[in-house]
Amino acid sequence: MDKFLYLTDQNENTEHSFIGPLFEKYLGKHLEVDIMYFSKTSDKFEIKNKNHFIMPLKHKHDIINELDRNKIYIGKYKYVFVRNHTAILKEVINVKHEYNFILGYRLSFPKRIAKLQKDEANNKKSFFDVISNKVKTFSEANLINQCDIFLPTSRQMRDDYLKSVKTRTFIIPSAIDPEVLHENIQHDGIEKRFFYAGTLDKLREFETILEAFCLVDPTQFKLMISTKDPEYAQTMIEKYPDIKENIELYNANNKAQLLDLIAKADVGLASLPDIVLFNSSTPMKVLDYYSSAVPCLMTKNENNASIFEDNYSAWMCEFDKNAIKDKIEEIVSLSKEEVSKVGIQGQNRLLDIRNYKRIADDLVHQLNIL
């Protein structure tokens, strides 16, 4: 089989719930895939599981030479892909003329834009930050245009942030693994259990969702929250004493724990502010919810509407406390069977258009025609 090298920006200990299924499991059925991760703790280059290259972080600006020193020659690969890291991409481009590999660039999430908008939400954005971002975006687009293929999470992400990119584009969205689905565990309570997974900060305006729940009969719901910053969450919850007793706070340490919690919920929450950053792709939490056939309440935007149908495979509304309140009340009025049906229909929809096996098969087809 042809050899494929994926140079990631990820730490070796990070849960690779996207990279593992798509690149290693399913793309690995077509190509001999090697994946490079970084280590913040090791000073020595290692090879784990035969195809995981663990690169000490101190070598992040000298990737190719360090691979060479360990007898991993980039010229032996037919495909070399870089994930998110433009400095690594530039290094690979500098040697591309020496070899005959096909070069791809994967943009999973516009982290720099996210930081800029987060700083704006916290009143920390400066004029210098805006100018710096424009310069870096121009440079990034120029590098991508020297690649053979560009793989953003959505076409909207490319159009919103990298309009000048002309390279062939193949969309790789968040998806679910058709071989790893989880049973939805029905609880005994009469209330509907809502679940929110992920970051809580000013940019996400989670207070809007809490304000919506304050307008709903508290006997009708429980709200489960799993976040990496439970102290921030607890401080936020204290501001809403009327629903405090209805909220259960968790800190899932890994994806397995998170999926166990999600499986016990009735409805997932993915309502986010109507801004370009959140509208350009499907949050990973949505895929986690539907892996357990847990239907989702999400923001009504073009991206979500292109995948799901309101009141059939998901629920959608504007990001407004009254609109969210109305949808919550609509959901709690449904029977458990009606709620579960929406989850199953949503999961089936994702299995049709957003599953890693199909994406990997389509990617191989795109690579074969380059």
DSSP 282-340: --HHHHHHHHTT--EEEE--HHHHTT--BTTTBEEE-SSHHHHHHHHHHHHTS-HHHHH
In a domain, residue 327? The reply is yes
Identify the CATH number of the domain in which residue 278 sits: 3.40.50.2000
Residues 221 and 345 in one domain: yes
pLDDT tens for the chain, residues 1 to 370: 999 999 999 998 877 778 999 999 999 999 999 999 999 998 999 999 999 999 999 999 999 999 999 999 999 999 999 999 999 999 999 999 999 899 999 998 766 555 545 655 566 666 566 666 666 777 899 999 999 999 999 888 888 888 899 999 999 998 999 998 988 887 778 899 999 998 898 889 999 999 999 999 999 999 999 998 889 999 999 999 999 999 999 999 888 899 999 999 999 999 999 887 788 888 889 999 999 999 999 999 988 999 999 999 999 999 999 999 999 999 999 999 999 999 999 999 999 999 999 999 999 999 998 8
Domain that holds residue 40: 3-175+355-368
Q: Give 103's Cβ-side CA count (13 Å radius).
A: 23
Number of domains the chain is built from = 2
Residues 343 and 362 in one domain: no
Q: Which residues contact 159 (CB under 8 A, 6 or more apart)?
A: none
